[in-house]
């Protein structure tokens, strides 16, 4: 019996610590409450807080529709993944901010200025599958930045935040 205890105790400790770490990282334990949303620009994203309010240009030319199957605890859900770029930027293809929202993009709209308020995090495989970048690349030549962030909004508003500097037209 003592032989088994020497094996089971370290095994149980590793399993419990691993589960607690994954749970803390995903917010299951309440340790990662994002707090009050703070207005940031694209330049301040990587050094900013977890809860952000950001204005930008949504690119709907390549949207990935993601179906999450339901189970005993929650209903099936559909999410839409698309890139968010700096305001008025319609030329870029490198996605630095990927938005994952249950709000369906409008039909026949390729670009939309929007202000998004939500939780900013590194993409996890259960939220951004590995084939997402391949799908986006095949549809419109989009690709992920090495330090791409995932934005899961709790509020989406059409239009820019008043704090965003207006675009200056060339003379």
Q: Quick check: 87 pLDDT over 50?
A: yes
Q: Quick check: 131 pLDDT over 60?
A: yes
Task: Say which CATH superfamily domain 38-158 falls into.
Answer: Nucleic acid-binding proteins (2.40.50.140)
pLDDT at 31: 44
Mean per-residue pLDDT, 128-138: 87
State the pTM of this model: 0.75
Cα separation, 90 vs 57, in Å, equals 8
Mean per-residue pLDDT, 63-91: 89
Any idea where the domains of the chain sit in the sequence?
Answer: 1-32, 38-158
Q: Quick check: 170 pLDDT over 80?
A: no
Q: Write out pLDDT tens, residues 3-62.
A: 778 888 888 899 998 888 777 666 555 545 567 888 888 888 877 678 889 999 999 988
pLDDT at 7: 82
Length of the chain: 171
- DSSP-assigned letters across all residues of 27-53: TTTSTT---S-EE--GGGTTTS-SEEE
Place of tokens 């930027």: 89
Q: Quick check: 92 pLDDT over 60?
A: yes
Q: Quick check: 68 pLDDT over 80?
A: yes
Q: What φ, ψ does residue 3 adopt, rounded to 5°?
A: -60, -40
| Dihedral angle computed from the Cα positions of residues 123, 96, 130 and 81, in that order, rounded to the nearest 10 degrees | 80
Cα separation, 52 vs 39, in Å, equals 6
């Amino acid at each position: 019996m003592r032989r088994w205890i020497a094996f089971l105790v370290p095994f149980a400790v590793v399993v419990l610590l691993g589960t607690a770490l994954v749970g803390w990282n995903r917010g299951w334990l309440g340790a990662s409450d994002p707090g009050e949303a703070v207005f940031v620009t694209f330049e301040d994203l990587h050094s900013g807080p977890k809860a952000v309010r950001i204005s930008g240009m949504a690119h709907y030319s390549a949207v990935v529709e993601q179906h999450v199957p339901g189970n005993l605890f929650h209903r099936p859900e559909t999410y839409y993944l698309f890139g968010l770029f700096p305001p008025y930027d319609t030329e870029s293809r490198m996605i630095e901010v990927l938005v994952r929202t249950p709000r369906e993009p409008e039909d026949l709209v390729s670009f939309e200025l929007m202000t998004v308020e939500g939780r900013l995090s590194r993409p996890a495989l259960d939220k951004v599958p590995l084939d997402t970048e391949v799908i986006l690349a095949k549809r419109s030549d989009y690709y992920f930045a090495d330090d791409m962030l995932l934005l899961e909004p709790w509020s989406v508003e059409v239009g820019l935040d008043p704090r965003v500097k207006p675009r200056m037209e060339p003379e």
